Amino acid sequence: MNNFRYIIGVTSEIQQGLTIWEGKIKEYLDIYYLGNRENAKDTKFYRCISKVREINNQLLDKEEFVRSVIDDQNLLATISIVQRSNIIFENDFTPCLEIESLTNSPWNTINYLQPEKRKGAATSLIEYVIMEGRSEGMNITKLFAVPQEKYFYEKIGFEETNGSGEMILNRNSASMFLLDQEQRRESRTFD
C-alpha cells in the first residue's frame, strides 16, 4: 500500500502540483490523443481534465476547502473540494462533509502506463476526509458520483441514496473502511 500525505488548503506545493498536472495533460493530449481533448472523451483522463479545470476555476474562492494528497515522490496525487454540508439521514438533519470534484493525477487516470503512477491516492484522500469529519463530530461523508465511478465508491462502502448519483458513507461503513485501510497498511504491500 502506498503512503500519501494529507494537505488541507492551497499551499505553494498544491499550486505547483496543479501546474505540473496542466503540463502533463497537454503532454498526454499531444502524445496519445493527437492534441485534441475530444479524442479522449469517455475516459477517466477526459474527466480528469474537466475536473482539473473546474478546481482551478474555484481555487481562489474555495481555497480553504481544497483537500489533497501528496505521494512518496512529492507529487500531487489527488485533489478535491470538501465542504461542510447537511443531509437528512434516518429522518434527522445531519451535518456531514461533502466531497466534490475529486480527481486523481493525469498519470493515474490515463490508460497508458506512466512512471509517476501510484495506486490508492483517491482512497487515501477519502480516508483522510473521513478522519477529518470525525474529528469535527461528523459521521457522514457525502458525494455525487458519475456513473462510471460508482463502483469505486461502493467498494469503499458508499451507498446511493436516491438515484441522482448522491452517495453517502455512514458511520458503520466508514468504520469498516478505516479498519480495512489500517489492516492493509499493516500488511505493508506496495503498488
Across the 191 residues of the chain, what is the mean pLDDT of every consecutive 10-residue run? 94 97 98 97 96 92 96 97 89 91 96 94 97 94 93 96 91 96 81 53
Question: Tell me: the pLDDT tens digits for 4-37?
Answer: 999 999 999 999 999 999 999 999 999 999 999 9
Written as nine digits, the cell of 111 is 490508460
Q: How many domains does the chain have?
A: 1
Q: What is the domain range of residue 166? A: 5-187
d(CA 7, CA 27): 26
| Residue 163: per-residue pLDDT | 83
| Residue 92: per-residue pLDDT | 85
| Residue 28: per-residue pLDDT | 98
Cβ neighbours around 189 below 10 Å, total: 8
| Residue 191: per-residue pLDDT | 53
- Picking from 103, 108, 114, the residue whose alpha carbon sits closest to that of residue 31 is 114
Sign of CA dihedral 173, 132, 73, 81: positive
CATH number at residue 38: 3.40.630.30
- Picking from 99, 97, 90, the residue whose alpha carbon sits closest to that of residue 149 is 99
